[in-house]
Amino acid sequence: MSKQPNAGLSRRAFLSGAGGAMAAGSVAAALGAPARAQAVTPPAGAWPIPVLNPDAVRDAGYFGYWTNDPYRSTNYGCAYGVAGALLGEIKRGLGPGSPWEMLPLEMFKWGKTGCVETGTLCGALAGALPIFALASPAYEVEMGGDLLRWYQEAALPSREMDYLDPKRRYPNQAQSVSASPLCHVSVSSWCKASGKLSSSTDRKTRCGKITGDVGKMAAIILNRLVPGQRYVPIYGPPPELYAECVHCHIDPPPPPTPDQVRLTNSLGVTNCVTCHPDSNPVMGKR
């Protein structure tokens, strides 16, 4: 069952777009070039999305986090966990032959530990955003904005996976509000709140649960997509805490004369105050 207009896209129609590429392949073969795997062309526009079960995505995300990466002898982690859980639920809902079968899970693992272990964007978020872009190329920013806003303001991890994993029992873990989409800030604020080490199984379990929580929220956001309609965001404009910062430092001045200071010297809306705690929300009016 799909909600998207191109849901009827059959595997045959989907593969026929690859004709040109295959013809080019046989020319190459005739010229003695090595034979290529059969090429496929992804469908244009929004990829079909079935109605998702957010709790099923959550639980699959938690376990996906712990899946072993045989190439690196460690667990695949958060980005892989979220992407795998969403793709699993999408493919289950659409049945065989959907374009989502083209995506190998390996392509998402780089998000672990804040994107190639740099502590930048939380990998759980990095696992969901590419799925948003394919499900709704027109509204991925609004959908991603909802996910990042929720992530910055929610007390995480939730307690919903406390008794899910018989191998790792860490119920009632400390919760923290990261006020940032960054892995480093999120993990370190939690280590501060919990008193646990970043290398501990407690912390890994906390990130496994956050993988589940982010997967669930991403599924809730995907379920808000209505084919052919504008995505209606969950959140409004930036919260008061940094709305004024955005107003002076990001919004362009209105023509013909600015009503007040508009520097327009910054880009990208996340919680400014986390990194600039000493900045005054009315600094330009001093």
Chain positions contacting ligand HEC, by CB under 6 A: 182, 242, 244-250, 260-261, 263, 265-266, 269-276, 279, 281-285
Q: Could you tell me the smallest distance in angstroms from the CB atom of residue 103 to ligand HEC?
A: 30
Q: Could you tell me the smallest distance in angstroms from the CB atom of residue 136 to ligand HEC?
A: 25
Q: Could you tell me the smallest distance in angstroms from the CB atom of residue 271 to ligand HEC?
A: 6
CB 90 within 8 A of CB 110: no
Task: With CA atoms as reference, report the closest residue to 203 among 168, 249, 247.
Answer: 168
Nearer of residues 200 and 260 to ligand HEC, judged by Cβ: 260
Task: With CA atoms as reference, report the closest residue to 234 among 218, 215, 246.
Answer: 218
Nearer of residues 46 and 248 to ligand HEC, judged by Cβ: 248
Q: Could you tell me the smallest distance in angstroms from the CB atom of residue 82 to ligand HEC?
A: 22
**For residue 113, what are the contacts with CB-CB under 8 A and spacing of at least 6?**
77, 119, 123, 183
In DSSP terms, 2 is beta-bridged to 50
Q: Could you tell me the smallest distance in angstroms from the CB atom of residue 182 to ligand HEC?
A: 6
Nearer of residues 234 and 283 to ligand HEC, judged by Cβ: 283
Nearer of residues 111 and 208 to ligand HEC, judged by Cβ: 111
Between CA 138 and CA 170 the distance in angstroms is: 40
DSSP string, 89-151: HHHHHH-TT-GGGG--GGGGGGGTTTTTTSS-B-HHHHHHHHHHHHH-TTTHHHHHHHHHHHH
> Judging by DSSP bridges, how do beta strands 68-69 and 74-75 pair with one another?
antiparallel
Q: Is the dihedral of CA 198, 200, 202, 206 positive or negative?
A: positive
Task: With CA atoms as reference, report the closest residue to 135 among 55, 221, 39.
Answer: 221
Nearer of residues 31 and 267 to ligand HEC, judged by Cβ: 267
Between CA 262 and CA 277 the distance in angstroms is: 20
Nearer of residues 102 and 263 to ligand HEC, judged by Cβ: 263
Q: Could you tell me the smallest distance in angstroms from the CB atom of residue 84 to ligand HEC?
A: 28
Name residue, tokens 């400014």: 272
Q: Could you tell me the smallest distance in angstroms from the CB atom of residue 237 to ligand HEC?
A: 12
Q: Could you tell me the smallest distance in angstroms from the CB atom of residue 178 to ligand HEC?
A: 11
CB atoms within 10 A of CB 213: 23
Nearer of residues 141 and 269 to ligand HEC, judged by Cβ: 269
In a 13 Å sphere around the CA of 13, the CA atoms on its Cβ side amount to 8
Nearer of residues 67 and 274 to ligand HEC, judged by Cβ: 274
